[in-house]
Amino acid sequence: GAGVSQSPSNKVTEKGKDVELRCDPISGHTALYWYRQSLGQGLEFLIYFQGNSAPDKSGLPSDRFSAERTGGSVSTLTIQRTQQEDSAVYLCASSLTGEGYTFGSGTRLTVV
Amino acid sequence: QKEVEQDPGPLSVPEGAIVSLNCTYSNSAFQYFMWYRQYSRKGPELLMYTYSSGNKEDGRFTAQVDKSSKYISLFIRDSQPSDSATYLCAMRGEGTGRRALTFGSGTRLQVQP
């Protein structure tokens, strides 16, 4: 597609439930990033995929968070046993060169 | 202490004013510097990208990097109400190590018509 697509745009879930967030990057972009943006905070790096290399998971805040990227394209971020502090906007970005990212509009996650 | 510090604002200016937005950072390894603009409920969009020290101009926008002071700036000339948004600085180091950007927390700008 023309841009980075994320779904759902909004998600309300009960504490303790698992959620899956999806990202469709720009076709041909080899790099894909997940960030989290909490209210009034900057973007917090979560995970980075580059081609077929092992992902950089150094930003994942706990083992409840995981992500995969299938076929070098679509990525899914999974949060298990959600907690209220997981409420945030989850942003996905893709890049061809690793320099300028193109971001999606994000998934706004609310844990109640 | 955060690696990248940015005043959250809000910064309110009249239409036509020159706006100065700034970030300081602590990691001397940062070599690539970017400014992103984020409208409400949208993802950030890349405005300016610079490598190492120096200035770069694009239309009404000028980015400056002073690596000796670990200080970067974004200037907006002839500001417009449509420039009202949150501006995020971002940066990363050289090489094939971690390619992820480190972001500031953003400055909210309001341009009053």
pLDDT tens digits in sequence order for chain A, 112 residues long: 579 999 999 999 999 999 999 999 999 898 999 999 998 678 999 999 988 888 999 999 999 999 999 887 999 999 999 999 999 999 999 988 766 789 999 999 999 9
- How far apart (Å, rounded) are the C-alpha atoms in residues A48 and A62? 16
B72 touches A at CB < 8 Å: no
* pLDDT over 80 at B9, yes or no: yes
Q: Which residues contact B6 (CB under 8 A, 6 or more apart)?
A: A42, B22, B23, B88, B89, B104, B105, B106, B107
**Contact of B105 with A38, CB cutoff 8 Å:** no
Report pLDDT for B97.
54
- How far apart (Å, rounded) are the C-alpha atoms in residues A49 and B99? 10
Whether residues A48 and B98 touch (CB distance < 8 A) is answered with yes
Report pLDDT for B1.
75
Report pLDDT for A96.
83
Contacts of A106 in chain B (CB under 8 A): 42-43
**Contact of A48 with B100, CB cutoff 8 Å:** yes
B88 touches A at CB < 8 Å: yes
Report pLDDT for B96.
54
Report pLDDT for B53.
85
Residues of A (72-111) whose Cβ lies below 8 Å from B: 91, 93, 98-106, 108
The mean pLDDT of chain B is 92
Nearest CA in chain B to A101: B46
Report pLDDT for A70.
86
Tens-digit pLDDT profile for residues B44-89: 999 999 988 889 999 999 999 999 999 999 999 999 999 999 999 9
Q: Which of A48, A58, A103 sits opposite B44 (nearest CB)?
A: A103
Residues in a beta bridge with B22: B73
Residue A93, min C-alpha distance to chain B (Å): 9
* pLDDT over 70 at B99, yes or no: no
Report pLDDT for B51.
87
